[in-house]
Amino acid sequence: MTVIVLTQCPVGLRGFLTRWLLEISPGVFIGGPSARIRAALWAEVKQYAGIGRALLAYNTDNEQGFAFETHDHKWHPVDLEGLTLIHRPSARTTRQPQPQPGWSKASKRRRFGGGR
């Protein structure tokens, strides 16, 4: 079983994947291609994704029973003693929105949780 999830990818790439996989929801493809076809599909997805993101999950013989790969995601797979886990960036690394010049002190407190 193979699952590919596309986000903000070109429509042509979605059309290409429908030759091999079934699109069960917008951007979610599922099917059972061979490992060689799966690798070829994933190479095409990475090449033509443009500014979009992609996720590939498939069955394999390991302790988890599946493996996955990501393309241009903020979350990345990390191998930890034979288990593949997702590494998410910490909340501190994301930028908080800054108030625009001319905002009142009350609106800054409501929107950003504190006054300046």
The answer to whether position 27 is within a domain reads yes
Of the pLDDT bands very low, low, confident and very high (cuts 50, 70, 90), residue 95 is: low
The answer to whether position 101 is within a domain reads no
The answer to whether position 113 is within a domain reads no
What's the pLDDT score for residue 43?
A: 95
The answer to whether position 103 is within a domain reads no
Query: What CATH code is carried by the domain that includes residue 62?
Result: 3.30.70.240
The answer to whether position 62 is within a domain reads yes
- Indicate whether 96 pLDDT > 90: no
The answer to whether position 110 is within a domain reads no
Question: Which residue type is seen at 64?
Answer: Q
The answer to whether position 100 is within a domain reads no
| Structure-token match 């504190």, residue found | 114
Domain count, the chain: 1
The answer to whether position 109 is within a domain reads no
Q: Which residues pair with 107 in a beta bridge?
A: none
pLDDT in tens, 1-44: 999 999 999 999 999 999 999 999 999 999 999 999 999 999 99
Does 38 or 92 have the greater pLDDT score?
38
Could you tell me which of 108, 111, 3, 13 has the C-alpha nearest to residue 56? 3
CA atoms 61, 64, 66, 71: torsion sign: negative
Helix (H, G, I), strand (E, B) or coil at 15: helix
Of the pLDDT bands very low, low, confident and very high (cuts 50, 70, 90), residue 93 is: low
Domain enclosing residue 60, as ranges: 2-87
Of the pLDDT bands very low, low, confident and very high (cuts 50, 70, 90), residue 115 is: very low
What's the pLDDT score for residue 6?
A: 95
- Indicate whether 114 pLDDT > 70: no
Q: What is the pTM of this model?
A: 0.72
